[in-house]
Structure 1
Amino acid sequence: MDLDIVNMFLIAVGTLLIPILAFVASFLLWPAALINVYYWYWRRTLGMQVKYASYGNYKFCYITRGRPGPKPSILMLHGFSAHKDMWLTVVKFLPKNLHLVCVDMPGHEGTTRSALDDYTINGQVKRIRQFVESISLNKRPFHLVGTSMGGNVAGVYAAQYPSDICCLSLVCPAGLKYPNDSEFFKILKEVEKSGDKQKIPLIPKTSEEMGEMLRLCSYVRFKIPRQVLQGLVDVRIPHNEFYRKLFLDIVSENSRHSLHDHMDKIKVPTQIIWGKQDQVLDVSGADVLVKSIPGSQVEILENCGHSVVMERPRKTAKLLVDFSSSLKEAENHKKHD
């Protein structure tokens, strides 16, 4: 009898120990795989489904939740070298009755990547329009949200296809002529002087460079283990050649100030959200947009850097929902007047 109890105890301990050891081994040896599992878990937990849409031979990958309803659908565009899952932190705090769509930008993650594709801002805007048409998202005007590079694309999209959208939210958007240089711009100028075009702060090659990039992008100092930093680098390294081409395309003469060149054509209600301590794209860009887009609303977040979506997800979600709701209420008041 005692032997049976010992055997049962050993089996129970072994059953618990195996997944723990597997987790530790994954953390130490395959952190990149663990990161992928992390995103899979949160997509499943939040009810987001991975889907694909085609436009001719071009394939788009996106995650979505819900169906179009009385409230506007929300389309979210991520930033440079990120992917659709970066929005999960915000999705967590958005109402479940909203129809949400987060797409991988051209060349990113599961969306088609081609050396022949045009990755300038105008090229990306055309691709996003193709995506919108492929899933019939513009049957009714939708709420377009974009951050950083995605904000640049979103702003130009709003200028070129105003009938597609009901409102626009720009989160620390790129593509402006900023009155003040950010820390990132200063670094780029130093790199340009040195002639070392291989060193771009947003394209890390080592865990140390990954840490530096995160410190540049975030005001909040997350304590991230070296293994996780290495995992993040391992995930990115196979794509670095593409990121380099993309970066050169979006800072080219045709794209560098795309949003600035189109902002006076934006006529839809616009919300601007910016981290006050943004070191990548200076917060002074908010004033530039406010002066050119009539009636635009500005929210400057204290103690927040460039990664607003990661640093202040709850606040971001609330701002997006409140903005859209306020427009709906204003529209209803007009109907009753």
Structure 2
Amino acid sequence: MDIDVLNMFLIAGGTLALPILAFMASFLLWPSVLIKVYYWYWRRTLGMQVRYADCGGYRFCYSSRGKPGTRPSILMLHGFSAHKDMWLSVVKFLPKHLHLLCVDMPGHEGTTRTCAEDYSIQGQVRRIHQFVENIRLNKRPFHLVGTSMGGNVAGVYAACYPGDICGLTLICPAGLRSPNASPFVLQLQALERAGSTVAIPLIPGTPQEMEDMLRLCSYVRFKIPQQILQGLVDVRIPHNDFYREVFMQIIGEDSRHSLHDHMHLITAPLQVIWGKQDQVVDVSGASVLAEALPGCQVEVLENCGHSVVMERPRKTAKLIMDFIIAQQSTSSKKHS
């Protein structure tokens, strides 16, 4: 073989080997770094830009794509101990021209941590309203989407600030007095009777606890390598004391049933999406909302757990878009 050709193959092989070796090293030694790079790459691929909104010493971190247009802007509120990037799987299937915003909830990821008052449901509602006003999102009514804890916040927000909202999507929302207790709620009740506040299933501290949490939250069984489980735990461990503080606030007397106590004040068109096999917040909560607000549209997804956003992202995106388009069509007919 010609020496120049041999050198070319060696150089090409070396060039390819370096990123492969870097990936393997990250996977084996620093999986948490790999996870952060993964989210960065996914945001970049989908055109989501990270931005900040400063409000008198308080900083919100959010990602956004697009500009306000003929469709309403969509603001997405994530669940407990998650972050804005959890919505990327749904964003992938939403039209690129839509104006989308995914905000880190109070104290989560890049948004400021302050006092425990901000982590109650009412406290989070006040902070999200502060964010909305700061970026002037409510110049025109927008569509609000929330899941789990974020669903509780979104529902109470819609009740407290009806003029801001043109539509509301609640995905497996917490905050209801459901007819049936979920396995997670039963587990919590057992822990309370035992006087234990340490072993909260949604705050894992080991790879095994992380795997258990994923099994609790998902009907679909994802096969996740041990290194990735370790990386997911490594990312969370520095924040577990904060998560514990938030958790105690949202299950406290003033927050536990906030959505239930405010749902009669919701006037915006309401869409409810729930996984039929949800083990965290029982699907019977959907009937509570349907009875209280007869005009609401309920979609129960078969073979799906609490993590609807991760398990059924394409379906979730389609349901949200179909609902928004239908509401706009209804509104146009009323004004014609």
* Pairwise same-fold verdict (TM > 0.5): yes
2:116 touches 2:246 (CA, 8 Å); kept in 1? no
**1:63-96: CA deviations, max 9, x gaps?**
0001111210000000000000000000000011
Give 2:38's aligned residue.
Answer: 38
Question: Aligned residue for 1:26?
Answer: 26
Separation (CA, whole Å) in 1 of partners of 2:171 and 2:71: 21
Counterpart residue number, 1:183? 183
User: 1:31-60: per-residue Cα shift (whole Å, max 9, x none)?
Assistant: 000000111011111110000001111100
2: CA distance between counterparts of 1:229 and 1:237? 12
Deviations 1:123-161 (A, max 9, x none): 000000000001000000000000000000000000000
Q: CA–CA distance in 2 between the matches of 1:319 and 1:200? A: 32
- Cα deviation for residue 191 of structure 1 reads 1.4
Give the whole-Å Cα distance in 2 for the aligned partners of 1:321 and 1:48.
19
**Matched positions, count:** 336
Determine the structure 1 residue equivalent to 2:199: 199
Counterpart position of 2:142: 142
Once residues 183 and 8 of structure 1 are traced to their aligned partners in structure 2, the CA distance between those partners, rounded to angstroms, is 60
The C-alpha deviation readout for 1:168-214, integer Å capped at 9, x for no partner, is: 00000000001111010111122122222100000000000000000
Output the amino acid matched with 1:157.
Y
Q: What displacement does 1:9 show?
A: 2.4
Q: Who is 1:281 aligned against?
A: 281
Note if contact 2:275-2:300 (Cα within 8 Å) is conserved in structure 1.
yes
| Alignment CA distance shift 1:116-1:331 (3 Å) | closer
Q: What amino acid is aligned across from residue 156 of structure 2 in structure 1? A: V
In structure 1, the partner of 2:15 is 15
Map 1:105-144 → 2, pairs under 5 A: 105-115=105-115, 117-144=117-144
Aligned partners of 2:61 and 2:110 also within 8 Å: yes
Mapping of 1:193-272 within 5 angstroms?
193-272=193-272
TM-score normalised over the length of structure 1: 0.98
1:116 Cα offset (Å): 5.5
Taking the aligned partners of 1:96 and 1:15, their CA distance within structure 2 comes to: 34
List aligned pairs for 1:292-311, cutoff 5 A.
292-311=292-311
Question: In 1, Cα distance between the equivalents of 2:5 and 2:102?
Answer: 52
Matched position secondary structure for 1:118: helix
Write the letter of the residue equivalent to 2:18: I
Counterpart residue identity of residue 157, structure 2: Y
* In structure 2, C-alpha distance between the alignment counterparts of 1:205 and 1:25, rounded to whole Å: 23
Determine the structure 2 residue equivalent to 1:316. Answer: 316
Q: How does 1:70-89 map to 2 (within 5 A)?
A: 70-89=70-89
Counterpart for residue 96 of structure 2: 96
**Could you say which residue in structure 2 is the equivalent of 1:329?**
329
What is the Cα-based RMSD across aligned positions, in Å? 1.0
1:222 deviates by: 0.4
Asked if residue 159 in structure 1 is aligned to residue 159 in structure 2, the reply is yes
Q: Counterpart of 2:173?
A: 173
* Counterpart residue type for residue 86 of structure 1: M
CA displacement at 1:8 relative to structure 2: 2.8
Paired residue secondary structure (1:332): helix
How many percent of aligned residue pairs carry the same amino acid? 71
Q: Which amino acid aligns with 2:330?
A: A
Secondary structure of the corresponding residue to residue 233 of structure 1: helix
The alpha-carbon deviation at position 282 of structure 1 amounts to 0.2
- CA displacement at 1:115 relative to structure 2: 3.6
Q: TM-score, normalization: structure 2?
A: 0.98
Q: Are the aligned partners of 2:118 and 2:127 in contact in 1 as well (CA < 8 Å)?
A: no
1:77 partner letter: L
Note the residue ranges of structure 2 that are not aligned, 5 or more in a row. none
Quote the Cα distance in structure 1 between the aligned partners of 2:13 and 2:30.
Answer: 24
**Secondary structure class of the residue paired with 2:54:** strand
Amino acid at match of 1:9: F
One-letter amino acid matched to 1:235: V
The 1-side partners of 2:106 and 2:285 are apart by 25
Judge conservation of contact 1:267–1:294 (CA < 8 Å) in 2.
no
Following superposition, the deviation at residue 14 of structure 1 comes to: 1.3
Going from structure 1 to structure 2, the CA distance change for 1:215 and 1:285 (only over 3 Å counts) comes to same
CA deviation after TM superposition for structure 1 residue 13, in Å: 1.5
State the alpha-carbon separation in 1 of the partners of residues 4 and 210 from structure 2: 52
